[in-house]
């Protein structure tokens, strides 16, 4: 018995697959930016000689919100301790 697979080659199915691929790439880029920002925060704190407890390191690396990470990075530049980057939350 032959199976009709023409649907998988149609213009519409190609368009749907392309859209899914584009969304996946965009999500990957956003995750990459968030990961990079988290690494920047940890680097700034480290270079300033501030100790970053494991629970804070995990909180920073697990965060995926770009705006929150940006705020933490700005605070990391002048904070007297790693805890201070979370002070206003």
Confidence at residue 69, expressed as pLDDT on a 0 to 100 scale: 93
87: Cα separation from own chain's centroid: 22
CB atoms closer than 10 angstroms to residue 72: 24
Q: What is the pLDDT of residue 44?
A: 94
- Using N-to-C axis directions, what is the helix angle for 66-76 and 11-47, rounded to 10°? 20
In the prediction, which pLDDT does 52 show? Answer: 94
pLDDT averages per 10-residue partition of the chain, 89 residues:
58 64 66 85 94 94 92 94 85
Give burial (CB, 10 Å; 0-12/13-18/19+) of 57.
Answer: middle
Q: Which pLDDT value is given to residue 34?
A: 80
**pTM value?**
0.67
């Amino acid at each position: 018995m032959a199976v009709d697979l023409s649907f998988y080659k149609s213009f519409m199915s190609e368009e749907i697959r392309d859209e899914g691929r584009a969304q996946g790439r965009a999500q990957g880029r956003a995750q990459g930016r968030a990961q990079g920002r988290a690494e920047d925060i940890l680097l700034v704190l480290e270079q300033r000689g501030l100790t970053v407890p494991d629970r804070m390191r995990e909180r920073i690396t697990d965060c995926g919100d770009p705006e929150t990470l940006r705020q933490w990075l700005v605070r990391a530049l002048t904070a007297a301790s790693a805890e201070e980057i979370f002070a206003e939350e």
